[in-house]
Structure 1
Amino acid sequence: MKRILILFLYILSGICVESFAQTLYNDSLNWIKANQELKSANYQQACSLYMELDKDMDTIYTEINSKKIEDLRKVYSINEVQLQKNMVQSKILELIAWIGITFIVLFIAFFFYIKKQNKRLIHSQEALNRAKGLAEESIRNKSLFLSNMSHEIKTPLNALSGFSEVLTMPGIDEATRQQCNDIIQLNSELLLKLLNDVIDISCLNVTNMKFNIKPCEVVELCQNVITTLGAIKQTEASISFETGLTSLELETDADRLQQMLINLLVNATKFTKQGSIVLRVEKIDDNTAQFSVTDTGCGIPLEKQGHIFERFEKLNEKAQGTGLGLSICLLIIKRLGGSIRIDSQYTDGARFVFVHPLKQEARS
């Protein structure tokens, strides 16, 4: 059995079988001799033979172990190469992963950069479009201004020239002379108002312009405005003032407030040939007063109501006026801390409403 086990180990270890058979034959002879010597009581010779057998077994085991060790070394060498290969592959995969992550981060950063640049470009384009629109509006306003000024100045100047010449003619009666004088006076006032409107529309845009704010009794001021316009009106419509207040004091620039009221009332007389024009004032709460000018004229179409406060905007291009009156009213009431609007619910003519604070807030 022991020899079969040794043969099996030889075969597994790859040692030559022929060499093993020779060794096995020699050992068998020695084994027989040793047993014979042991039976013959020749113990020394038997011990010598057994020791030689043991030596042969050690040799066989040594060869087997050497072969095994060599095989293990080869296997280890192969595993080490495979391990190094795996490590290299792992490092390559890790490098590829880092490159991929870096690329993704760069792509995201580039995407947001392009998005930010696009937003800036869009904002720049919008600013450019706004500037272009303002420039076009400025050119349009300039053209309208020159056109209006040419017409508005020419009309009263022709009247002044013509009726001044009539006054110098001999033989005219006193009634004709008085009529010519009234016409000259009216057209002189039109020219003065025209110049004042142009000055106002330029000055009111200056942010550091100071208003003369002080307490003002507005009920009395409104009555005086109605009296003044009643004397010079060029319409058959009645002009009246209505209020439930006996007095109302507010902090304002009296001249600017009077200018607003006159502009609104004169504007109403241009489009109200008959009927009535009513100025109203009321106190709507402890902090605010409300003024309104209501007429029974032709009214203002809805499509024009959103633009009526723009400069040079005229309801009727043939009507006398510069188209600056309502825009001046808007600028004045804003500086006084109020607001102005047209009442779109009123359909029997036109109604302009503006509110004014009773007390002016401190302004830096």
Structure 2
Amino acid sequence: MKQQLLLLLFCLLSSVSWAQEQDGDSLSWADAAKELQAGHYDEACSLYIDLSNHAISTFQEINSREVKDLRNEYSIDEVLLQRNLHQSRLLKLVWIAGAILVGLFIICFFYIRRQNKLLARSREELDRAKSLAEDSIRNKSLFLSNMSHEIKTPLNALSGFAEVLTMPGIDEGTRNQCNEIIQLNSELLLKLINDVIDISCLDIANMKFNIKPCEAVSLCRNVVKTLSSIKQTDAEILFETDLSSLELDTDIERLQQLLINLLVNATKFTKEGTITLRLEMADTGKAQFSVTDTGCGIPLEKQARIFERFEKLDEKAQGTGLGLSICQLIIKRLGGDIWIDSQYTQGSRFVFIHPLKQEVRL
């Protein structure tokens, strides 16, 4: 029984012999084996017990070192894990902060862009208002300049020739001549005042025109007949049309005023030759009027501004420079359009179209 116990102990201790070999104790194990073979069981048992205790302590030391190494590795892994978690949180915070900054940048970009657009629009409106104010000041200056000159001329004539009429001893011929001059300048002064009234009234958006049917052919004939009797030029005023009659909806007084303005304007610059008013149907199905003269014509560089207020072809010529502007306002309100024919070079030709029916009452 004692021998079997020793054999079992030998088997158990042989499993850890490698640890003792690491420490150089292989001779002790050999001595124990020799004692066992020699039959000295007590000595062999004592040696094996000592070797077993030594092996156990060696295993404990090895295990403690391994446990310590494992703990160290675990501590290192835990530190790495904590650092990775910290880095992950930091990276997440960086991404969130970056997204917020990008969002703020985008918001600021579109806000600044919108403000720039509003600022540009405000500048445009300011420039437009400034331009209108400058035009208004310019028109006011031109108006005062023109009116002071245009009104002074007929008033001086009226005053001078009225004084002549009061002088004793003048003959009947001189008296009649003075009356004619006074009458002519009175009509001129009245026309100047009417032009100013017209240009102010036509600017009112809610002004109503008196629209009713009008026979245009007879109206044109009457206008030409009237002007032919009072013209102050050697040019002949003619009316041409291939139409026997043409009825259209219009303001008769305004259309007559438009025609008279164009014809009178032509007489100022046509000393001889012909001034022709023509009525026909345009390709658009509207009535087309044209006034053609053989006068001095209008230079191309001035044609673009000829319809502006106070614009005069000849600064020395009588008039306010409002006639063509009034014509444009009238025909626009009647639903038509007016322009100067730049292709005509034998003088000047003004053309305007007028609808046959008014879709909306003015």
TM-score band by shorter chain is 0.7 to 0.9
Alignment of 1:186-205 (within 5 A): 186-205=184-203
Farther-moved stretch of structure 1 (185-194 vs 175-184): 175-184
Conservation of the 8 A alpha-carbon contact between 1:287 and 1:359: no
Q: Using the alignment, how far apart are the partners of 2:196 and 2:30 within structure 1? A: 141
Q: Using the alignment, how far apart are the partners of 2:283 and 2:120 within structure 1? A: 46
Q: What amino acid is the match of 2:18?
A: L
Q: Using the alignment, how far apart are the partners of 2:17 and 2:126 within structure 1? A: 103
Conservation of the 8 A alpha-carbon contact between 1:31 and 1:49: no
Gaps of 5+ in 1: 11-16
Q: Using the alignment, how far apart are the partners of 2:361 and 2:43 within structure 1? A: 135
Alignment of 1:138-287 (within 5 A): 138-285=136-283, 287=285
Alignment match, 1:13: none
Cα deviation for residue 108 of structure 1 reads 3.4
User: Given the two structures, how large is their TM-score scaled by the length of structure 1?
Assistant: 0.87
Cα deviation for residue 153 of structure 1 reads 1.1
Could you say what the CA RMSD is over the residues aligned between the two structures, in angstroms? 2.6
Alignment match, 2:311: 313
Cα deviation for residue 66 of structure 1 reads 3.1
Cα deviation for residue 3 of structure 1 reads 7.0
Alignment match, 1:14: none
Gaps of 5+ in 2: 1-13
Q: Using the alignment, how far apart are the partners of 1:85 and 1:73 within structure 2? A: 18
User: Given the two structures, how large is their TM-score scaled by the length of structure 2?
Assistant: 0.87
Cα deviation for residue 95 of structure 1 reads 2.4
Q: Using the alignment, how far apart are the partners of 1:25 and 1:157 within structure 2? A: 153
Q: Using the alignment, how far apart are the partners of 2:275 and 2:352 within structure 1? A: 16
Alignment match, 1:112: 110
Q: Using the alignment, how far apart are the partners of 1:226 and 1:363 within structure 2? A: 28
Alignment match, 1:6: 19
Q: Using the alignment, how far apart are the partners of 1:35 and 1:248 within structure 2? A: 154
Alignment of 1:94-133 (within 5 A): 94-133=92-131
Change (3 A) 1:53 1:5: closer
Conservation of the 8 A alpha-carbon contact between 2:28 and 2:51: no
Alignment deviations for residues 301-350 of structure 1 (CA, whole Å, 9 cap, x no partner): 11111111111111111100000001101111110011111111111111
Alignment of 1:43-122 (within 5 A): 57=55, 60-122=58-120
Cα deviation for residue 184 of structure 1 reads 1.8
Q: What amino acid is the match of 1:6?
A: A
Alignment deviations for residues 94-142 of structure 1 (CA, whole Å, 9 cap, x no partner): 3233333333332333233333323322222222222222112111111
Conservation of the 8 A alpha-carbon contact between 1:34 and 1:50: no
Percent of aligned pairs with the same amino acid? 66
Alignment deviations for residues 33-75 of structure 1 (CA, whole Å, 9 cap, x no partner): 33444xx9x8x99899878866765554444333212211111
